[in-house]
C-alpha cells in the first residue's frame, strides 16, 4: 500500500493553483474523507501574474460544481458577464471593420448550413448577426440573463470578466474554508528527490520539507518543477504567433454608471492587438505585441492613444505593467509524479482567452483520472500528455487563423503573419477544404474540442472568407432552411432586446439583491 496517492501538493497560488485545488477537492470530497489531502503552497514574496480577466462559459460549471455562489463571485471579484469577443480592425483596419465570435453556436448549427442563405441576402449583413442573436445584444450593452434568472442559468450563453487578483483571494477563501484545502504560505527553495527520480518533497524557507505523492506545478512562468527541476523542453510557437510582450493597464470609467460591455474587445493594431475588458468598477486594457515588430515605447504610445480615443480625458490608474511572454508550451506536461497546470505548462497569447479554460480542463482531467497508485500514474500521464499536446496545437491553429485571414498591409507584422512558412500546414489544408464546404465536426474529432467548427465559422466568415464555388455549397445544403434560421435569429434578437436588462443594470441588481440560487 506504499504507493497509494494520498497527498497532493499544489505549488503556486495563482488562478491555476486555486482552480486546480478547487476542482480536485470538490471532486474527491476532501472535506469529508481522510483518503486524499490537498495542500497548496504559495510564496509570500512571488506575486501572481495579476492578469487573466476573460473566461469561457465553462467557468460557470467549474465554479458551480465547487459550490461557489455566483452572487459572491460577481460582488467579490468585481466580475461582469461576458457573451462574446468582438474583433475590431482585424480584416482591413477600416472604420466599419468588426466581427463577433459569440458564445452561442450559429442557429441550426450541425443541421443547417447558413452560408448559402446568408450570401444570398441583399447587402450581405455580417455573418455573426445572421447566425447568432448575441452580437446585437452585445452592441446594445445587454446582459445575458434577467434579474430573476437563477445563479449560473442563462438566457444567452455567458462567461465572466473578473479581477484576477480578487479571484485568487476569493478562490483561496472558498477552497480553505469550504473544501478542506490546506494553505501553506511558504517560499520553495529546493526539491527533494526519491531514488526513482520522483519528487518526494519541497524544501521551503518557512516550513521545512513538505512531502507529497503527486506535485502539481502551478508556478507560472518560472515553471519551477516541470521546467527548472525536470528540464522538460519548451516548444516555442514564436515562429507562428509573433506576439511576445504585453503592457497591461487599468482604466477608470468616466462616470460611475458608464455602460459595461458584455463582450471582450480585441482591437487590432499595427504590431499586435489591444484587449479591452469591462469590469463593474474599471476597464482592464492591455496591448499584446511582437517585440520584433515594435519597440516598447511605440507599443506604449499605441496603448495610451487607444485609451484616450475610447475614454477622452480619462487618466489610466498608474503606468502600464510590462509582461514578457515566451509563447509556447512544454513538450510534456505530466512527467513522473509532477504535472504542470497553467502558465508553467505553457502560455501563448491571450487572444480568445484560452488559458483559464485550459486550466479548468487540466484540473478536470487530473480529478477524473486521479491515479489510485503510483504504477497507474504513468498510464494517466501518457493519456494526459497526448490530450493536451493536441489541445495546444489546436489553440495555435485557431489563433493563427485570425492573423492569416487579415488583409491588413499597414505593417510588416501583418504581412509576415501571412507568410506560408509561418502557418501550420494543418490549417492551410483545412482552409483548402473549407473553400468547398463549411467547417464541420468531421474536422475536429475530440468530444471536448476547444475550438469547434462553430468557432471556425464565426472567424472565417466574420473575416470575409467566402466558399468557392457557391454552386457546390448550394448542392450541399438547403437555403430555405438556412433562411428560416436567419429569421429565427432576428426574432430572438427582438425578444431578448425587450426582455434583458443592460449589463450594468443586472450587475447592480445582483449587488443589491443577489441572484436566486440554482
Ligand atoms: C497579458 C496576459 C493576459 C492574459 N489574459 C487572459 C485572459 O483574458 N483569459 C485567460 O484565460 N487567461 C489570460 N491570461 C493567462 C492567465 O493570466 C493565466 O493563465 C492565469 O492567471 C494562471 O496563472 P498561473 O496561476 O499559472 O501563474 P501565476 O499567477 O504567475 O501564479 C504563480 C504562483 O506560483 C507561486 N510561486 C512561484 N515561485 C514560487 C516559489 N519559489 N515558492 C512558492 N510559490 C511560488 C507564486 O507565488 C504564485 O502564487 C493572460 C496572461 C497574460 C500574460
Tens digits of residue pLDDT in 12-49? 999 999 999 999 999 998 877 668 999 999 999 999 99
The Cα 379–Cα 68 span in angstroms is: 32
Tens digits of residue pLDDT in 105-145? 999 998 888 888 898 888 789 999 999 999 999 999 999 99
Cell of 69: 455562489
DSSP letter assigned to residue 54 = B
Task: Report the nearest-CA residue for atom 41 of ligand 1.
Answer: 188
Cell of 507: 450587475
Residue 473, pLDDT score: 61
Region of residue 161 (left: phi > 0; alpha: psi -120 to 50; beta: else): beta
pTM for the model stands at 0.97
User: Hey, how many other C-beta atoms are within 10 angstroms of the C-beta on 278?
Assistant: 27
Measure 48 CA to ligand 1 centroid, in angstroms: 5
The Cα 306–Cα 320 span in angstroms is: 13
Tens digits of residue pLDDT in 403-426? 999 999 999 999 999 999 999 999
Residue 474 pLDDT grade (very low, low, confident, very high; cuts 50, 70, 90): low
Task: Report the nearest-CA residue for atom 6 of ligand 1.
Answer: 52
Measure 472 CA to ligand 1 centroid, in angstroms: 47
Handedness of CA 334, 163, 165, 51 (dihedral sign): positive
Measure 81 CA to ligand 1 centroid, in angstroms: 22
Task: Report the nearest-CA residue for atom 33 of ligand 1.
Answer: 12
Is the per-residue pLDDT at 352 higher than 90?
yes
Q: Are 246 and 323 in contact (CB under 8 A)?
A: yes
Q: Which helix (H) or strand (E) holds 323?
A: strand 317-324
Residue 470 pLDDT grade (very low, low, confident, very high; cuts 50, 70, 90): low
49 lines ligand 1 (CB under 6 A): yes
Task: Report the nearest-CA residue for atom 14 of ligand 1.
Answer: 52
User: 103-107, 469-473, 477-481 — which one is most confidently predicted on average?
Assistant: 103-107
The string of DSSP codes covering 349-413 is --GGG-HHHHHHHHHHHHHHT--SBHHHHHHHHHHHHHHHHHHHHHHHHHHHHHHHT----SSHH
20 lines ligand 1 (CB under 6 A): no
Measure 248 CA to ligand 1 centroid, in angstroms: 14
164 lines ligand 1 (CB under 6 A): yes
Tens digits of residue pLDDT in 218-251? 999 999 999 999 999 999 999 999 999 999 999 9
Identify the CA nearest to 49 among candidates 355, 496, 383: 355
Treating both helix axes as pointing N-terminal to C-terminal, what angle do 355-368 and 374-404 enclose, rounded to 10 degrees? 160
Measure 362 CA to ligand 1 centroid, in angstroms: 15
Residue 113, pLDDT score: 84
Task: Report the nearest-CA residue for atom 17 of ligand 1.
Answer: 52
Q: Are 51 and 248 in contact (CB under 8 A)?
A: yes
42 lines ligand 1 (CB under 6 A): yes
Q: How far is CA 38 from CA 35, 291, 375, in A?
A: 10, 40, 20
Measure 171 CA to ligand 1 centroid, in angstroms: 14
Nearest atom (ligand 1) to Cα of 344: 26
Region of residue 116 (left: phi > 0; alpha: psi -120 to 50; beta: else): alpha
Measure 380 CA to ligand 1 centroid, in angstroms: 25
Q: What percent of the chain has pLDDT over 70?
A: 97
Nearest atom (ligand 1) to Cα of 221: 30
Residue 285 pLDDT grade (very low, low, confident, very high; cuts 50, 70, 90): very high
The string of DSSP codes covering 295-311 is -HHHHHHHHHHHHHHHS
The Cα 515–Cα 374 span in angstroms is: 44
Residue 220, pLDDT score: 98
Is the per-residue pLDDT at 2 higher than 60?
no
16 lines ligand 1 (CB under 6 A): yes
Q: Which domains does the chain have, with CATH numbers?
A: 7-53+163-236+327-389 (3.50.50.60), 111-147+424-499 (no CATH), 245-324 (3.30.9.100)
Amino acid at each position: 500500500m506504499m504507493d497509494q496517492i494520498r497527498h497532493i501538493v499544489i505549488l503556486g497560488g495563482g488562478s491555476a493553483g486555486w482552480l486546480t485545488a478547487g476542482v480536485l477537492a470538490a471532486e474527491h470530497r476532501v472535506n469529508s474523507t481522510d483518503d486524499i489531502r490537498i495542500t497548496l503552497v504559495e510564496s509570500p514574496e512571488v506575486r501572481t501574474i495579476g492578469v487573466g480577466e476573460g473566461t469561457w462559459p465553462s467557468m460557470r460549471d467549474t465554479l458551480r460544481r465547487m459550490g461557489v455562489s455566483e452572487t459572491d463571485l460577481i460582488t467579490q471579484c468585481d466580475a461582469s458577464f461576458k457573451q462574446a469577443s468582438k474583433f475590431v480592425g482585424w480584416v482591413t483596419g477600416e472604420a466599419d471593420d468588426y466581427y463577433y465570435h459569440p458564445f452561442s453556436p450559429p442557429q441550426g448549427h450541425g443541421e443547417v448550413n447558413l452560408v448559402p442563405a446568408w450570401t444570398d441576402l441583399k447587402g450581405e449583413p455580417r455573418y455573426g448577426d445572421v447566425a447568432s442573436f448575441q452580437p446585437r445584444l452585445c452592441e446594445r450593452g445587454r446582459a445575458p440573463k434577467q434579474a430573476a434568472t437563477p445563479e449560473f442559468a442563462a438566457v444567452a450563453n455567458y462567461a465572466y470578466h473578473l479581477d484576477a487578483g480578487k479571484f485568487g483571494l476569493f478562490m483561496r477563501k472558498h477552497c480553505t474554508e469550504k473544501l478542506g484545502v490546506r494553505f501553506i504560505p511558504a517560499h520553495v527553495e529546493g526539491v527533494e528527490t526519491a531514488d526513482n527520480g520522483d519528487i518526494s518533497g519541497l524544501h521551503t524557507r518557512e516550513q521545512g520539507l513538505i512531502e507529497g505523492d503527486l506535485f502539481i506545478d502551478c508556478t507560472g512562468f518560472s515553471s519551477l518543477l516541470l521546467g527548472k527541476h525536470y528540464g522538460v523542453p519548451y516548444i516555442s510557437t514564436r515562429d507562428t504567433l509573433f506576439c511576445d510582450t504585453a503592457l497591461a493597464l487599468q482604466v477608470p470609467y468616466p462616470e460611475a454608471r458608464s455602460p459595461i460591455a458584455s463582450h471582450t474587445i480585441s482591437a487590432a493594431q499595427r504590431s499586435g492587438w489591444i484587449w479591452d475588458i469591462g469590469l463593474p468598477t474599471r476597464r482592464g486594457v492591455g496591448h499584446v505585441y511582437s517585440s520584433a515588430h515594435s519597440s516598447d515605447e511605440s507599443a506604449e504610445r499605441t496603448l495610451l492613444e487607444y485609451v484616450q480615443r475610447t475614454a477622452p480625458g480619462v487618466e489610466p490608474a498608474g503606468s502600464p505593467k510590462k509582461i514578457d511572454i515566451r509563447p509556447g508550451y512544454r513538450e510534456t506536461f505530466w512527467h513522473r509524479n509532477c504535472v504542470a497546470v497553467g502558465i508553467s505548462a505553457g502560455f501563448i497569447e491571450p487572444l480568445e482567452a484560452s488559458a483559464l479554460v485550459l486550466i479548468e480542463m487540466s484540473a478536470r482531467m487530473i480529478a477524473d483520472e486521479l491515479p489510485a497508485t503510483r504504477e497507474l500514474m504513468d498510464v494517466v500521464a501518457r493519456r494526459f500528455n497526448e490530450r493536451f499536446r493536441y489541445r495546444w496545437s489546436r489553440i495555435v491553429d485557431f489563433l493563427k487563423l485570425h492573423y492569416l485571414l487579415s488583409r491588413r498591409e499597414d505593417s510588416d507584422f501583418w504581412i509576415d503573419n501571412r507568410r506560408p512558412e509561418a502557418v501550420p500546414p494543418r490549417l492551410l489544408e483545412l482552409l483548402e477544404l473549407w473553400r468547398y464546404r463549411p467547417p464541420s465536426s468531421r474536422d475536429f474529432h475530440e468530444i471536448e474540442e476547444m475550438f469547434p467548427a462553430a468557432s471556425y465559422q464565426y472567424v472565417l466568415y466574420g473575416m470575409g472568407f467566402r466558399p468557392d464555388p457557391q454552386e457546390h455549397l448550394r448542392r450541399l445544403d438547403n437555403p430555405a432552411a438556412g433562411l428560416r434560421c436567419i429569421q429565427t435569429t432576428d426574432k430572438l434578437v427582438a425578444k431578448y432586446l425587450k426582455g434583458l436588462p443592460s449589463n450594468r443594470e443586472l450587475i447592480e441588481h445582483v449587488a443589491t439583491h443577489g441572484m436566486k440560487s440554482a
